[in-house]
Amino acid sequence: MSLFCCPICGGPLERGPSAYSCPAGHSFDLAREGYVHLLPANRMHSKMPGDDKGMAAARAAFLSKDYYAPLRDALCSIALANTGPAPSVLDTGCGEGYYTSGVYRALVRAGRSVTMAGTDISKAILRRAAKREKDVEFAVASSYHLPVADGAVDLLVNCFSPLAIEEFRRVLSPGGAFVYVVPSEKHLWELKQVLYDRPYPNQVKQTPYPGFSYREIRHVESVIHLPCQEDIHALFQMTPYYWKTPRSGAERLAALTALDVTISFDIHVFCRD
């Protein structure tokens, strides 16, 4: 069973050996890596939307060393607490699939019969996600036009990705859970101290959204040790700071051979009314 529906007519999609197709005859080829492109050309704002290959490679290299394992493990715990025996799970803006894979495997280990999909606007990143987890569906798609039927999702996960709250409400089933991860106040504080003369903490707020009720806000914080310039640069390159840091700050960071840095996240868990 596929979580995806046709982005042209909205009909259910069925996955075949080489393509997805709907009853109306629309067909979407599977890429060699196993993902499908469900972003119509008129919704693409560039030829290569989303994160570029360099950012994708940096994030994959960094996350593969489990520096963000505390966040992944917290998401697994929340997923287990907010799903039943046969959940449908969607990870929007899933990136290279690090958290997608973690949540999927945790649910499978717990004996759940899981249908799971991930979406991202970047083909470069989805190639990595599809290679990582063959039993999860992946599609190039916009969070603002998800190729998913109304009420089809029991758990929706969004880590550091665009907040398309109306679309998330549409695809979630009543009583379904929406898990939204944002950087907390001191996230990457020591990195910012190197990059900027006057760094400021991230803004932390609790925002109610129409059609959702709060279940909890879980705070995850740890200090990680980056033992080499390669890992420091990978962290830098996967953040927005990479594009808006003065050259002097980037040079200071490049001179470091090790760095202890705080990772700090707030996980907002909502229930779809």
> Residue ranges for the binding site for Zn(2+)?
6, 9, 22, 26
Closest CA to 36 of 178, 146, 144, 138: 138
Count of helices and strands (H, E) across the chain: 9, 11
Q: Tell me if residue 53 falls in helix, strand or coil.
A: helix
CA distances from 28 to 14, 22, 201 (A): 10, 9, 44
**Cβ 211 vs Cβ 249: under 8 Å:** no
Annotated binding-site residue numbers: 6, 9, 22, 26, 68, 96-97, 187
Annotated binding-site residue numbers for S-adenosyl-L-methionine: 68, 96-97, 187
**Count, residues in the chain:** 273
The full DSSP string for 150-187 is: TT-EEEEEEESS---HHHHHHHEEEEEEEEEEEE-TTT
What is the C-alpha separation between 146 and 142, in angstroms, rounded?
6
